[in-house]
Structure 1
Amino acid sequence: MRLVLLGPPGAGKGTQAFKLSQILAIPQLSTGDMLRAAVSERTAIGRQAAEIMERGELVPDDLVVGLIADRIARSDAVSGFILDGFPRTVTQAESLDDVLGSHQLNCVLELKVDEQHLLDRILGRAMQARENGEAVRADDNQEALSVRLTAYANQTRPLTHYYAAKGLLKTVDASQPMDRVTAALVEAIA
């Protein structure tokens, strides 16, 4: 099963990708985690990415796509994978299609949540971190969420049209309790 998980910041993509990876016994592939691993392992892509990140620049699509191509070629991804955080743009989705070749995606799952619910979640996450004596994510505030939602609307939301046109998009109400969202995602895949 080859899946992509889409949704705005705070929708629960990481949480649900982790749960689905356990249920389906396939790896959760987070581009951020993969980049950090490639840099620490000093792979060819990791060395290139490290130089770019040290300059404070974004890692270009061709390197990220190369990283994903390398990762999905590993033995643990033969049965499938869940992409969490990629693609973020239609251009990246087209590149992913090229990488996958005849082994195209089975399903694209969109987590849909209204903006007020997202804000409540993110502020709640920040409050819980403070109460637990943990560091609060720098982007867990109303201003950062607004910027992130605008970027999502401009860059990532067009992916829903791209994947809907391919007949791959399934939308789930992610404002429900976590376990209900997981159940709805599993049902959407089936």
Structure 2
Amino acid sequence: MDTASAGPGLRERKKARTRALIQEHALRLFEEQGYARTTVEQIAEAAEVSPSTFFRYFPTKEDTVAHNTFTLAFLNALRAQSPGADLFETIRRAVHDAAEGFDELSWTQERRRQQLVLAVPDLRGASVEQLMLLASALRDEVAMRAGRDRDDFEVHTFTGAVLGVFAAVVAGAPHTTARNYADLVDHGLTHLRSGVPL
């Protein structure tokens, strides 16, 4: 029974490693020769996989940059938080829990990905789609924890304001570590909670 349950975990870890390897080579090639001049075939060759394997992990070239492991870690951490706690504190704890799962190398790759999104207009479409998925998932969680409907306008505005804090940290602090990213989010959430005075 233990062996059976360990099998899928091992497969998932192998898939995660392959996905990370493809993304790493994609980011490197985009930085070295430009996004537009880099082909799927070049990325696949650098990662030592076939183009068909590439497409099993990433439907398009853009998705190698849109793929965001931190968002998934944050949402998983958020769903694991105890119910009934203050929403700001719940989100703050989830960000810290997610950040603790990133070593320096993983976080450096995440920041490279973020910087490419900010620098290359062609990448923004796929990243906006990922942002909308995050917004929807966060709105569901906020609504559930607040005992409100997900289409409640105040749930929308709260969710949008929190996403604004995340975006401000990404755009305004390009050299963060995972730890000080979480600390900057703390600062932003505290500022938001206080009414955003200037």
Indicate the TM-score class for this superposition, using the shorter chain for normalisation.
under 0.3
In the superposition, the TM-score normalised over structure 2's length comes to 0.27
Relative contact order, CA 8 A, sep 6+: which one is greater?
Answer: 1
When you count helix as a share of all residues, which structure comes out higher?
A: 2
Which structure's CA Rg is the greater one?
A: 2
In the superposition, the TM-score normalised over structure 1's length comes to 0.28
